[in-house]
Amino acid sequence: MGNERKWTQLWLKYDRRQKEYDADLGRVNVSGFGEDTVEKKVLESALKEWKRGFEGYTGKSVTEDTAAEEAGLRILKDASVPAEGYVIEVTDPSHVVVKASEAKGVLYGIFALLRAMGLEQELSEAAGSFSPSNPLRMLNHWDNMSGDIERGYSGNSFFFKDGEILVGDRTRDYARFISSVGINAIVINNVNVKQQATWLITDRYFDKVSELSRILEEYGVKLFLSLNYAACMEIGGLDSADPMDPKVIAWWKERMKEVFARIPNLGGFLVKADSEGRPGPFTYGRTQADGANMLADIVKEYDALIIWRCFVYNCQQDWRDLKTDRARAGYDNFKPMDGDYHENVILQIKNGPMDFQIREPVSPLLGGLTKTNQMLEVQIAQEYTGHQIDVCYLIPMFKEVLDFKTYCAPENDTVADVVSGRAFGNKNAGMAAVCNTGDDENWTGNDLAAANLYGFGRLAFDMELTSEAIAEEWAGLTFENKSEVKKTVVTILLPSRKVYEKYTSPLGIGWMVRPHDHYGCSVDGYEYDRWGTYHRADHLGIGVDRSHNGTGYALQYHQPNADMYDDPETCPEELLLFFHHVSYDKVLKSGKTLIQHIYDSHFEGYDEAVALRDQWKSLEGQIENRCYENVAERFERQLYNAREWKDQVNSYFFRKSGIPDEKNREIY
Amino acid sequence: MGNERKWTQLWLKYDRRQKEYDADLGRVNVSGFGEDTVEKKVLESALKEWKRGFEGYTGKSVTEDTAAEEAGLRILKDASVPAEGYVIEVTDPSHVVVKASEAKGVLYGIFALLRAMGLEQELSEAAGSFSPSNPLRMLNHWDNMSGDIERGYSGNSFFFKDGEILVGDRTRDYARFISSVGINAIVINNVNVKQQATWLITDRYFDKVSELSRILEEYGVKLFLSLNYAACMEIGGLDSADPMDPKVIAWWKERMKEVFARIPNLGGFLVKADSEGRPGPFTYGRTQADGANMLADIVKEYDALIIWRCFVYNCQQDWRDLKTDRARAGYDNFKPMDGDYHENVILQIKNGPMDFQIREPVSPLLGGLTKTNQMLEVQIAQEYTGHQIDVCYLIPMFKEVLDFKTYCAPENDTVADVVSGRAFGNKNAGMAAVCNTGDDENWTGNDLAAANLYGFGRLAFDMELTSEAIAEEWAGLTFENKSEVKKTVVTILLPSRKVYEKYTSPLGIGWMVRPHDHYGCSVDGYEYDRWGTYHRADHLGIGVDRSHNGTGYALQYHQPNADMYDDPETCPEELLLFFHHVSYDKVLKSGKTLIQHIYDSHFEGYDEAVALRDQWKSLEGQIENRCYENVAERFERQLYNAREWKDQVNSYFFRKSGIPDEKNREIY
């Protein structure tokens, strides 16, 4: 990877701000950290970042190795600070102390100081003791070694091209960005591991993978790889991948020995098995636990993890079959083995039971499992939420998920409690996001989509942060912190998920997207297909009965959630069609009929999208033109998309129900 | 192209038959043909074929150059025989004379004799005077130079691979096959001319194109190329393709001079302009006639033709727009210039106004134009008719089209009259088929699909042949002529188009196919899209009003057709939904309501497909196993497809109308 392409610096632009900071802070003293090479490298990253940021924001210079008594910024080792945590003490504007028990904490502390400076705050606002909410704060890249990205909307991969691994300045910048928001692990290759990617665990790629891993290590980021469960057959030449087969176990042992000898900073592996055509233990009559534990036992001696995805369902369903329910599959497949998974296995569970729709209930596996390490998987790649063409700030959705009370325990029972490990005392736990980056100049296709990358990291580090606070931070750091610009951007971001929801599929039913690419409306696109994704609309009503009368999915939740979802009268209305088949003439809490709600929300959603676009237009001339044009162009495509959704959904239901819009608006 | 792959000999297997023919017919005398090299080559092809065929069918040997008085087969030049025609005289079983005015007639005569032998007929049954119904009998290959085939269902191209031209034994066999059924022209490259294919008219490819063309020439087949209308820009570097621009004209003149100097046996060009994103004269405010005539004037001195496709319509339609009607587009775009096209321009018109659906009315352009050379375009590539997975013998459809009375003249007014040139005395006219071949071992994916290739050629040569006669010929030649096998195959072929129609979209409405690939059911797949392909179903009824109350399309026909289509009471029922929006409760001539007709025909169509499959199964062990398995496997896929169509269409309309099936069969 050369420097032929330019890329932006996202929220680390460090461009000169109005607010002045004391020049003394440019004099830095570090003490107490030992001779460990990795620690030194991480400290070096922190100091380089301080130099870059402080000089950028203030125009004043930084000198390291100042004597302790003359330093404005003192960095001290303090073993009492929790792992990955940091303490910032601000005596006065010219004296700041950062304490940490390891270099990574220093790095996070420095980024916290720079964040405060970018937001033109007093440094005392950054003071306090901080440590991450989640042990693992992870990004999953679905990058293929060919260079394309599955569900990528920001160009091609910056990790891979034509079967080779790219390492360079862009890798380092990426490590800086994600480290600055607290990400501590990434998976660089697609969970669908095919072709060359299967060979990442062989000598063919060790050198380059190591080089990449070393850069990540300097920023406190562990490297993970997605593993092909059938690698022992595809590259090992075995005739089986049975996790009980001694030959299979021996092959993996040998392989892992070499892998961990050759790749530094390797945290473990992510595995998608028995899912959507991927091989797995089911082929051999074994359980998911058998498969995960086999690998976990082998990598245990390297302190490594096996992160096992729970996205296992029948993707060859007959649409005529009303009994099978894809929503049930995760719980049905994984709950029976709760307690069987070994300590260094983590089950990675998508936020909802289906697949990253704009509105789903929380997966009943989250907190449904009580004796198993769990990790929450969300998707900031906007597969079903507008392809980074439509603006959709997802942090409010993630907050809803984290705040959901699972009733898995008498207290500390929210999803946040479960995935942070608080609920059951797990050490191996956390949050992962399917990433939204690519080699586009602005990294995320739509400049505004970077708010999801920033926001996911910040939220995973500190689950108490509000959506609004995160949006304000990101906007302030990205857009020079002028108050009217920041305010406008935040005003666009905050409602954007609701707006997207309004003009797309109604009340939790999901889907209705164009098959394959998942952008744009096709109400029946998946209705007669094999993916288990149905709305069951007829001339009288719509929705899937997942109550005890139907598929029984609602009963997978702990009480009182099960009863709440089971009864259409207590089911939260935004999920009504997910859980119940409802007549078009049913009157909702708003006093509107269901059909009128569908019409109204679609007209409103489109109008609100127009309003978001208009707000963006007010920024012309006030922000960098490249960014303005990038988002403005996407807003035009969003409006086209929103209009199609509105008119297609409304026409579909009008044609099907024959019930006219009360307000006589145009429906086709 | 090497010989690494095997391929079948289709209907030219020439395998030993029961019926004996006199050994004297192996003694051949040729007289009267001159020294012209091309004529000699064609004669040589005829003699080689006789040797191959006669020896194969009879086991007896062939000697050429027998003295006239001792010859059993005499081949004579007779200038009174019409061009491309032949006369066969059979004095007794050991004396046959073939007369023709040109070698191509001899070739056709020899193939006719071999056909009779393959069918175990007396040769006297082949006696008579024959000449082709249509001047041009053409195949259009949609082969890309990369090697893939647009809408190809039989493997990859045998003309192109990785940007290069393939010439070899397979080319020659293909020339034999198509010559044997009377094809006299082919276009080897896709009408969507892109990338390397634009360069086919440059020195880069002249040598290989010439080599290929010489082989075709030996079998009386003219080579045509598809032309990129913007070639003068893409390879000529001009900034315009305006047909009135002297620079553009000069470029084409120069290019054509070289092309015709370098490529032998070149008949001219096929052009898709201003269609589905292809460039054309509309870009410059010129008419289609301006574009076609410019090129035609330039190639006139080489006796070449410009075949100009009429597939011009707005493919960016708004589905909300009820006024624009894609069906109208061909007539609206081409009729106003009737009479303006020069003599060596032929307009190539698809059989229907839409795009090769299983049921469409005949295009009103056919016979609507009265002062313009016209050619009928049909599609034997089964794009919308089952992808050569589902059996669909298309000759009955083509017969319906040819027999359609256009009322363009007091007599000789059928489509057959128009495209043969009889109606208006055109010399440049004929029939073209989008071809269904590829490099699969059996050439056509499904062995039974070869009946369409065979049948198209035979029908284009002799439009009086019945669908049944053609099916019997093909089945007899392909399957060793055992009477029960032939009968079973014919019994499968003849109803297959009706069966396909029954289980797919009802009463002429068309579409309802999966977008992009066009296989399988998706009732709303194109309903809210930009292609002008709508069914307009709501909870009360379905169909497009193309009467005078609607888009007015019906009025594009000559009377009395216009009135017939305009009135739902006289409109042929199989086209009812193409022309009218009809209530589900409308009672059809059968006494059934429309909705009941939809249900019944879909249940019947599926059952009939099962019956076809069962008939095929009865052939196991009686025919070559490769062929049996090939078709048997496809029949299973056809049944899967038919079941999906049946259930999806029925469920769609039941869910939309709420009207139950009178017979209470299972609808989902």
3-state helix vs strand vs coil in chain B, percent to 5: 40, 15, 45
Give A530's contacts in chain B (Cβ within 8 Å): none
CATH of B2-130, one of 3.30.379.10, 2.40.50.1040, 3.30.930.10, 3.40.50.300: 3.30.379.10
Give A644's contacts in chain B (Cβ within 8 Å): 528
Distance from CA of B320 to the nearest CA of A (A): 6
Cβ of B658 within 8 Å of Cβ of A537? The answer is no
Cβ of A538 within 8 Å of Cβ of B319? The answer is no
Give A524's contacts in chain B (Cβ within 8 Å): 522-524, 652
3-state helix vs strand vs coil in chain A, percent to 5: 40, 15, 45
Just list the catalytic residues of B: 276, 355, 383
Q: Distance between CA atoms of B325 and B578, rounded to whole angstroms?
A: 11
CB B266 within 8 Å of CB B224: yes
Share of chain A above pLDDT 70, in %: 99
Out of A20, A169, A276, A633, the active site residue is: A276
The pLDDT value recorded for residue A5 is 55
A69 is catalytic: no
Return the H-helix or E-strand segment holding A97. strand A95-100
Cβ of A655 within 8 Å of Cβ of B655? The answer is no
Facing residue for A540 by CB, picked from B528, B648, B658: B658
> B138-147: b or e for each residue (b if 16 or more CB lie within 10 Å)?
bbbbbbbbbb
Q: B300: Cβ–Cβ under 8 A, 6 or more apart, which residues?
A: B342, B344
Query: B2 pLDDT exceeds 60?
Result: no
Instruction: Using CB atoms within 10 Å of the CB of residue B176, give its burial: 0 to 12 exposed, 13 to 18 middle, 19+ buried.
Output: buried
Cβ of A524 within 8 Å of Cβ of B652? The answer is yes
Give A647's contacts in chain B (Cβ within 8 Å): 320, 528
Tens digit of each residue's pLDDT (9 = 90 or more) over A92-116 = 999 999 999 999 999 999 999 999 9
Q: Which amino acid is at B421?
A: G
Q: Distance between CA atoms of A536 and A553, rounded to whole angstroms?
A: 16
The pLDDT value recorded for residue B480 is 81
> A466-476: b or e for each residue (b if 16 or more CB lie within 10 Å)?
ebebbbbbbbb
Secondary structure of residue A436 in the 3-state scheme: coil
Share of chain B above pLDDT 70, in %: 99
Return the H-helix or E-strand segment holding B40. helix B37-58
A276 is catalytic: yes
Query: A200 pLDDT exceeds 90?
Result: yes
Closest by CA position to A130, among listed A83, A97, A94: A83
Reply yes or no: is the peptide bond before residue B410 cis, omega within 30 of 0. no
Q: Distance between CA atoms of B140 and B381, rounded to whole angstroms?
A: 10
Average of per-residue pLDDT across B578-605: 98
In degrees, rounded to 5, the angle at the alpha carbon of residue A17 between the alpha carbons of residues A12 and A22 is 105
Closest residue of chain B to A659, computed from CA coordinates: B539
User: B interface mutation test: which of A511, A516, A524 has the most B CBs within 10 A?
Assistant: A524
Facing residue for B648 by CB, picked from A523, A525, A528: A528
Q: Which residue has the tokens 């150059």?
A: B65
Q: Distance between CA atoms of A493 and A504, rounded to whole angstroms?
A: 17
Residue A213 phi, psi (nearest 5) = -65, -35
Q: A395: Cβ–Cβ under 8 A, 6 or more apart, which residues?
A: A451, A452, A455, A456, A459, A467, A470, A471
Cβ of A655 within 8 Å of Cβ of B656? The answer is yes
CB B432 within 8 Å of CB B377: yes
Rg (CA), chain A: 25
Give A523's contacts in chain B (Cβ within 8 Å): 524
Query: B278 pLDDT exceeds 90?
Result: no
Distance from CA of A596 to the nearest CA of B (A): 17
Distance from CA of A464 to the nearest CA of B (A): 44
CB A255 within 8 Å of CB A201: yes
Q: Distance between CA atoms of B378 and B431, rounded to whole angstroms?
A: 8
Closest residue of chain A to B648, computed from CA coordinates: A528
Q: B143: Cβ–Cβ under 8 A, 6 or more apart, which residues?
A: B149, B150, B152, B157, B159, B160, B188, B189, B190
Residue A579 phi, psi (nearest 5) = -105, -20
Q: Which residue has the tokens 């850069």?
A: A215
Q: Which residue has the tokens 């690519």?
A: A438
The pLDDT value recorded for residue B1 is 42
- What CATH number has the domain spanning B138-463? 3.20.20.80
Secondary structure of residue B267 in the 3-state scheme: strand
Range list of H helices, B285-328: 288-299
The pLDDT value recorded for residue B481 is 85
Give B654's contacts in chain A (Cβ within 8 Å): 538
Tens digit of each residue's pLDDT (9 = 90 or more) over B192-232 = 999 999 999 999 999 999 999 999 999 999 999 999 999 99
Q: What pLDDT band is residue B5 in, cutting at 50, 70 and 90?
A: low
Facing residue for B656 by CB, picked from A525, A647, A656: A656
The pLDDT value recorded for residue B422 is 95
Mean pLDDT score across all residues of chain A? 97
Query: A3 pLDDT exceeds 70?
Result: no
Give B658's contacts in chain A (Cβ within 8 Å): 538-540
Write down the ipTM of this complex: 0.90
Query: A201 pLDDT exceeds 60?
Result: yes
Closest residue of chain B to A538, computed from CA coordinates: B655
Secondary structure of residue B330 in the 3-state scheme: helix
Cα separation of the two ends of chain B? 51
The pLDDT value recorded for residue B90 is 97
Q: Distance between CA atoms of A187 and A270, rounded to whole angstroms?
A: 7
Closest residue of chain B to A667, computed from CA coordinates: B320
Distance from CA of B528 to the nearest CA of A (A): 7
Tens digit of each residue's pLDDT (9 = 90 or more) over A17-27 = 999 999 999 99
Distance from CA of B505 to the nearest CA of A (A): 16
Tens digit of each residue's pLDDT (9 = 90 or more) over A513-536 = 999 999 999 999 999 999 999 999
Q: Distance between CA atoms of B91 and B74, rounded to whole angstroms?
A: 11
Q: B607: Cβ–Cβ under 8 A, 6 or more apart, which residues?
A: none
Query: A189 pLDDT exceeds 90?
Result: yes
The pLDDT value recorded for residue A276 is 83
Closest by CA position to B193, among listed B272, B258, B99: B272
Cβ of A524 within 8 Å of Cβ of B319? The answer is no
Cα separation of the two ends of chain A? 51
Q: Distance between CA atoms of A131 and B573, rounded to whole angstroms?
A: 75
A121 token code pair: 């705050």
CA distances to B157, B393, B493, B621, B647 from B634, rounded to whole Å, are 21, 15, 14, 18, 20
From chain A, which residues contact B within 8 Å (Cβ)?
319-320, 521-525, 528, 537-540, 644, 647-648, 651-652, 654-658, 668
From chain B, which residues contact A within 8 Å (Cβ)?
319-320, 521-525, 528, 537-540, 644, 647-648, 651-652, 654-658, 668
Q: Distance between CA atoms of A558 and A574, rounded to whole angstroms?
A: 20
Range list of H helices, A229-367: 231-234, 246-262, 288-299, 329-334
Average of per-residue pLDDT across B373-391: 98
Closest by CA position to A45, among listed A191, A221, A199: A221
CA distances to B106, B132, B373, B400, B562 from B182, rounded to whole Å, are 12, 8, 21, 21, 35
Closest residue of chain A to B321, computed from CA coordinates: A668
Provide the residue ranges of all domains of chain B, joining segments of one domain with +.
Answer: 2-130, 138-463
Tens digit of each residue's pLDDT (9 = 90 or more) over B392-446 = 999 999 999 999 999 999 999 999 999 999 999 999 999 999 999 999 999 999 9
Tens digit of each residue's pLDDT (9 = 90 or more) over A47-66 = 999 999 999 999 999 998 88
User: B interface mutation test: which of A513, A645, A650, A656 has the most B CBs within 10 A?
Assistant: A656
Q: What pLDDT band is residue A279 in, cutting at 50, 70 and 90?
A: confident
Cβ of B658 within 8 Å of Cβ of A524? The answer is no
Tens digit of each residue's pLDDT (9 = 90 or more) over A391-428 = 999 999 999 999 999 999 999 999 999 999 999 999 99
Tens digit of each residue's pLDDT (9 = 90 or more) over A380-391 = 999 999 999 999
Give B319's contacts in chain A (Cβ within 8 Å): 668
The pLDDT value recorded for residue B277 is 82
Q: Which amino acid is at B105?
A: G
Size of interface A-B (CB pairs under 8 A): 54
Closest by CA position to B52, among listed B186, B172, B171: B172
The pLDDT value recorded for residue A1 is 42
Give A539's contacts in chain B (Cβ within 8 Å): 539, 655-658
Query: A227 pLDDT exceeds 50?
Result: yes
Cβ of A538 within 8 Å of Cβ of B652? The answer is no
CA distances to A542, A585, A588, A649, A662 from A596, rounded to whole Å, are 13, 8, 10, 12, 7
Rg (CA), chain B: 25
